[in-house]
């Protein structure tokens, strides 16, 4: 058999492997709880007559998603007696998460918002813990050249889980009480935990931390002793910054240039959702063929170009066909870029400390979404829509330029394939 035939076989073996199905199903389990403490909980509280100030404060229950690196070392250090180092923790957190959803369903937002906050905080804590273990499992169970495709399937599963919980949950709430909705979602969470029982436990890397001190300190020492540690962190901050800034202001932009809420819902949300799903899948397949380095370049360029597409939409005005074209291109490229970006972050973790390092990197990834996106409204007012989106396009350039620093040491497609085999 020729090397070309072997390469083709390895490619399809990766695509059709049980590992990829597990990545998709674990993504679903990870995405399911997120909006049950967000938009769905807000709707329940509004329905119960809770004041807006209190509802706004409930954003704080999401802090465990940002602070998950604090307890991630515990999941690297200790192994439970059943199912192994990763699956043991994962199954435990998933079952407790389902029980936390039941506990939340028994609360009464209109009577005691504080007890609702405690229950919601339990949900977010165990949801964030589940995310830590799933990220570590995906990194350790997939070869380097499979990280991009695994990430794309994980993200798509995540979005489907979010859609079921938010869209499905709100639709159900018109038929049954919100408490019943949360109990149904708890049952779905139990079902979503079943793949954990059938998944294969990753082979543990040599040199795992033997003490809690090692689990806390060694991940930081190992990472910052690398020659390019600061460059990696800068790249993670900058690669999707322009895309994130633009995305933060798109809804006000659509409304301001004359689109109706129905057009935004149909084209941007529904059509855009499937474009993002397709982009993630396409990106994952291309990464498997191209390698992470080339994919980051190509997808990063497409992301920047798609952001510039909003300038064209601003010039065209409220044209549904132009909106559909811009959204298709933007969401496809965003899905591809996210797959490459998450795959890159996974490849930068040491398998001895996957949970801790990945939790740190994903927390850093969230900084642009929270801090850098905050002044975007002021920027749009000062620059106008075209000027604002041009700035977002140009901000993508530094992240792409940093990629030059990776050229000499980032694994090539051939090297990634060799590792996989």
Domain membership of residue 138 (yes or no) is yes
Q: Does residue 210 sit within a domain?
A: no
Tell me if residue 366 falls in helix, strand or coil: coil
293 and 177 inside one domain: no
Give the integer Cα–Cα distance in Å for 301 and 29.
32
Residue 209, domain member (yes or no): no
152, 257: one domain: no
Kindly state whether residues 350 and 406 are assigned to the same domain: yes
349 lies in the same domain as 263:
yes
Q: Are 324 and 271 in contact (CB under 8 A)?
A: yes
Cα 333 from Cα 395, distance rounded (Å):
16
194-209: per-residue pLDDT in tens?
Answer: 999 988 888 777 677 7
Q: CATH number of the domain at 228, please.
A: 1.20.1250.20
239 and 354: one domain?
Answer: yes
Query: Has residue 300 been placed in a domain?
Result: yes
243-264 per-position pLDDT tens digit: 878 877 777 788 888 887 777 7
Q: Are residues 109 and 146 in the same domain?
A: yes
As a whole number of angstroms, the distance between CA 132 and CA 369 comes to 19
Q: Is residue 51 part of a domain?
A: yes
Contact 277, 143 (CB under 8 A): no
Q: Write down the pLDDT at residue 64.
A: 86
Looking at the fold, whether 98 and 246 belong to one and the same domain comes out as no
> Of 144, 172, 204, which marks where a domain is finished?
204
The domain in which residue 397 lies consists of 215-420
Share of the chain above pLDDT 90, in %: 19
| 181 and 222 within one domain | no
Take residue 389 and report the two structure tokens written for it.
């989106």
Looking at the domain assignment, is residue 123 inside a domain?
A: yes
In this prediction, residue 374 carries a pLDDT of: 64
Q: Rounded to an integer, what distance in angstroms lies between the CA atom of residue 281 and that of residue 120? A: 32
- CA 19, CA 156: separation in Å to the nearest integer? 15
Query: Do 196 and 245 belong to one domain?
Result: no
- List helix spans (H) across 142-173: 147-163, 169-173
Domain count, the chain: 2
**Of the residues 178, 204, 230, the one at which a domain ends:** 204
Q: For residues 219 and 358, is the Cβ–Cβ distance under 8 A?
A: no
Residue 94 lies in a domain: yes
* Mean pLDDT, each 10-residue run in order, the chain (421 residues): 46 65 90 86 82 75 83 86 88 96 92 89 94 89 78 85 84 87 95 92 76 83 82 83 80 82 76 79 77 83 89 89 88 82 82 83 69 74 90 88 70 42 39
Same domain, 91 and 135: yes
Rg of the chain on CA atoms, in Å: 22
What is the rounded end-to-end Cα distance, in angstroms, of the chain? 16
Using alpha carbons, list the distances in angstroms from residue 119 to 58, 70, 126, 162, 416.
12, 20, 11, 19, 44
**What confidence score (pLDDT) does residue 372 get?**
67
Which one of 177, 204, 231 terminates a domain? 204
Q: Are 223 and 198 part of one and the same domain?
A: no
Q: Which residue in 369, 368, 271, 257 sits closest to 319, CA to CA?
A: 257
Q: Are residues 355 and 406 in the same domain?
A: yes
What burial letters (b/e) apply to 273-285, b meaning 16+ CB within 10 Å? bebbbbbbbbbbb
Question: Does residue 412 form part of some domain?
Answer: yes
pTM comes to 0.76
């Amino acid at each position: 058999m020729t090397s070309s035939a072997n390469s083709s076989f390895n490619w399809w073996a990766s695509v059709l492997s049980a590992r990829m199905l597990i990545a998709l199903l674990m993504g679903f389990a990870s995405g399911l709880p997120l909006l049950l403490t967000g938009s769905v909980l807000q709707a329940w509280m509004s329905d119960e007559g809770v004041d807006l100030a209190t509802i706004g404060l409930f954003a704080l229950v999401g802090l465990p998603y940002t602070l998950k690196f604090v307890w991630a070392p515990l999941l690297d250090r200790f192994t439970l007696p059943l199912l192994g180092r990763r699956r043991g923790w994962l199954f435990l957190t998933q079952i407790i998460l389902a029980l936390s959803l039941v506990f939340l369903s028994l609360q009464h937002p209109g009577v005691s918002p504080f007890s609702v906050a405690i229950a919601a905080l339990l949900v977010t804590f165990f949801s964030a813990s589940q995310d830590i273990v799933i990220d570590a499992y995906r990194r350790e169970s997939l070869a380097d050249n499979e990280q991009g495709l695994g990430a794309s399937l994980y993200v798509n599963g995540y979005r489907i889980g979010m859609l079921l919980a938010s869209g499905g949950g709100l639709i159900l709430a018109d038929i049954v009480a919100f408490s019943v909705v949360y109990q149904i979602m708890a049952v779905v969470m139990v079902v979503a935990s079943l793949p954990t029982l059938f998944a294969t436990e990753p082979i543990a890397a040599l040199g795992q931390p033997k003490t809690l001190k090692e689990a806390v300190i060694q991940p930081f020492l190992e990472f910052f002793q690398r020659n390019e540690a600061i460059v990696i962190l800068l790249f993670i901050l900058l690669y999707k910054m322009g895309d994130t800034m633009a995305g933060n202001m798109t809804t006000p932009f659509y409304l301001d240039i004359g689109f109706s809420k129905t057009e935004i819902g149909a084209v941007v949300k529904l059509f855009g959702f499937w474009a993002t799903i397709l982009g993630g899948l396409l990106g994952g397949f291309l990464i498997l063929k191209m390698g992470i380095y080339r994919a980051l370049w190509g997808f990063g360029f497409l992301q920047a170009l798609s952001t510039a597409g909003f300038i064209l939409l601003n010039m065209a005005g409220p044209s549904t066909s132009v909106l559909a074209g811009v959204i298709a291109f933007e969401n496809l490229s965003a899905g591809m870029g996210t797959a490459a970006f998450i795959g890159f972050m996974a490849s930068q973790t040491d398998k001895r400390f996957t949970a801790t390092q990945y939790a740190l990197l994903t927390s850093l990834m969230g900084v642009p979404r929270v801090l850098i996106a905050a002044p975007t409204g002021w920027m749009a007012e000062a620059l106008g829509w075209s000027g604002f989106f041009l700035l977002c396009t140009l901000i993508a350039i530094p992240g792409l330029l940093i990629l030059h620093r990776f050229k000499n040491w980032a694994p090539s497609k051939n090297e990634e394939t060799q590792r996989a085999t």
